[in-house]
Chains A and B, each alone.
Chain A
């Protein structure tokens, strides 16, 4: 049954412990209806009772109630429908170019002054969080502000709460006393390593500058970030 055509050697040689030929013996578990390949309209699901009448030779795009229901259900997604993104917003993983090639292209286009780091198209930096066993990577070019970055980081490390970082929060952040409060709490504080190898508090510099100088991110416990504070506060003082 398997012999069939001699397929080109793409390495399709699986250790197939036969699970049983499809269509036979597959009904040993309950819910056999689900195992049938046809009978689309008889689908059992817990979430919908719509009887989908399929007209396979239909020439019009389906305007059946299920599509509308799907649209409603889609709206409960927290992330926006990509189709509604502005046309030029960069979509993750599209076009499908491998990161190795992407970085190579960026360096080639950038020229010598930008070739230190993949620029123009992607700025991947590693993100570590104290206590988390996994390193993550983010592309800083995907975000336009610190707030967007913090939101994304918050989702990635869901137990991580940054002290208030709205625009008022940013002002607070720069305010020495409030900064000290934050650093003394058990909240997490994002820090980054810049081009010079120094560790700084995130939020110090204008966003664009940050994207260019950030080499990696570390989300530290507030209490550990104390050592970083004075420099950040110094810089703030010098600026204001």
Chain B
């Protein structure tokens, strides 16, 4: 080992050391040590994650990191999932693809979430990156199967094509046939969001010739009687998503399917199960004990069948299910699945006021008691009590993600008729590592005081129909040190808390407020005072300056950025900036 001259190792050594560090945050820290480390680090960074595509420009990323192989971008705010962000808002990936096509010829991976992707963009990807391997489009939109055909035809080294929950204009299923006959490198394919049929023979041939295929998630259009053939061609599968899981019971089909499942010795995760019928569920019994992940959230089977199924899944770590499971099913889950880490219970009938299933707070309490590793919960229900929340909190101090949705807004504790402040307060007090929290039910400013006081590790908070005054917002903004994302709808929070905590907003990725009480005047002020924030007013009633300054804006999206105001906004979005002139797109 050569002696240390001055304070530096040769660059090659440092580069080698840095190559063991993948995490972006760690790399950011490394880059701050000194100028030469900054330089070495930036030339050797291979992965970039941009949590808000408008926080920085493609040019700036490329300038700093010239040798990137993997890019992950996120676009629209989370509330876009619930139709709160009007179409045309933005999140276009086009400029990024164009810039990267020129700068990163060796790019291998693109992962996008809530962005608008076009067929032209997909075609450009397929032609610009010779070694392209991974395309993940999560909740994206704007493209069709034409773009997918280009990817299939041109990306010779493609490993992963994952379209999870994207909105794809489904012109035909023939795009799948564009994979060349000598293409064999597929590892992961998720087409579960597609509505039209894909060509089965093309699919079977594709699956048959890709020996490394680990994940295959089919769309609803694939009938049940096709599954066995596919499984037999890919016995090495680890994750499998069925198509529609319903058919007339035919013993030959059943035994064929069951045999095919049994033949997949590596299978650990199952999903799909659209419209599942009870008679075919037992086909998976032989492999239940190996399963770690089960997504039954589209399966319309009822509690007794669900109980029989989950009782056999002793190694289950993740369960997504409809509220058909009911409290009794959750009791069974608590008794059988001691390794459970994540539970999501979705509503089967969210728009009815009256409950259609016997699912209450009790089910969640049972699971919290019976599953010591439970740390991530998403639970839709119609009643809750402070006592139940306190019990859950005490049972599971290791909880890191807790999202509770009581279906009717402002529902109080059903036993005491009190607000649920104390219950959520217990959650934040006991669950010291809580990173994500979604609130619901009747809540006063008190709950925000608890959150500000205790939720020191909280990174993301979702609030709806809660609180009484600016005090609530102030507690959160001034108390939650690690807060990165805050999304609020229909709460009486206004100017004062926002302006008093303006500096806090620069430490966060973004803040969304809709149907609150923030005035246009305050937005303008914030935009003027905080040049490193984009303060975007979204208002479909027309230009905000056509109304008094004290009028509340419909929606507000504030995010930190080093790229300045964006210029791709639709007519109903205005950026408040330093010039305090309204910039129309």
Interface residues of A (CB under 8 A from B): 2-3, 5, 7-19, 22-23, 26, 29-31, 34-40, 43-48, 52, 54, 56, 61-62, 64, 66-67, 70, 73-74, 76-79, 82-83, 87-88, 90-102, 104-105, 108-109, 120-121, 133-137, 139, 155-156, 158
Contact = CB atoms under 8 A, between A and B. Distances in A.
Contacts of A66: 469-470, 496
Contacts of A29: 529-531
Contacts of B51: 11-12, 14
B566 interface: no
Nearest to B350: A95
Q: Which of B72, B484, B551 has the most CB of A within 10 A?
A: B551
B562 A17 contact: yes
B496 A48 contact: yes
Contact of A101 (B49, B297, B400): B297
Contacts, number: 246
Interface in B20-55: 23-29, 32, 47-51, 55
Contact of B517 (A73, A94, A96, A136): A73
26 contacts: A3-B26, A7-B459, A12-B24, A13-B47, A14-B24, A15-B49, A15-B65, A16-B28, A18-B32, A19-B506, A22-B506, A22-B507, A29-B529, A35-B529, A46-B525, A47-B495, A47-B522, A67-B468, A67-B492, A76-B547, A93-B84, A94-B82, A95-B407, A97-B350, A98-B165, A104-B298
Nearest to A38: B478
Contacts of A3: 26, 29
Interface of B: 23-29, 32, 47-51, 55-56, 60-61, 64-65, 72, 79, 81-84, 86-88, 139, 165, 167, 193, 274-275, 297-298, 300, 346-351, 353, 380, 400, 405, 407, 409-410, 433, 435, 444-445, 449, 457, 459, 462, 464-465, 468-471, 474-475, 477-478, 484, 489-490, 492, 494-497, 499-504, 506-507, 509, 515, 517, 519, 521-522, 525, 528-532, 540-542, 547-552, 554, 560, 562, 570-571
A66 B353 CA distance: 34
Contacts of A52: 470, 496
A35 B533 CA distance: 13
Nearest to B521: A47
B580 to A, nearest CB: 11
Nearest to B410: A83
Q: Which of B353, B433, B499, B507 has the most CB of A within 10 A?
A: B499
Contact of B435 (A7, A23, A30): A7
Given A13-B24, A136-B86, A70 B351 contact: no
Contacts of A45: 495-496, 499, 521-522, 525
Contacts of A2: 25, 28-29
Given A93-B84, A136-B86, A155-B541, A73 B551 contact: yes
Contact of A91 (B409, B504, B517): B409
B87 A76 contact: no
Contact of A26 (B410, B469, B503, B515): B503
A109 B503 contact: no
Contact of A92 (B26, B84, B445, B507): B84
A6 to B, nearest CB: 9
Nearest to A30: B529
B529 A8 contact: no
Nearest to B142: A135
B468 A46 contact: no
B496 A76 contact: no
Nearest to A36: B503
A85 to B, nearest CB: 10
A38 B501 CA distance: 8
Contacts of A18: 28, 32
A47 B353 contact: no
B478 A156 contact: no
Contact of B502 (A34, A93, A108): A34
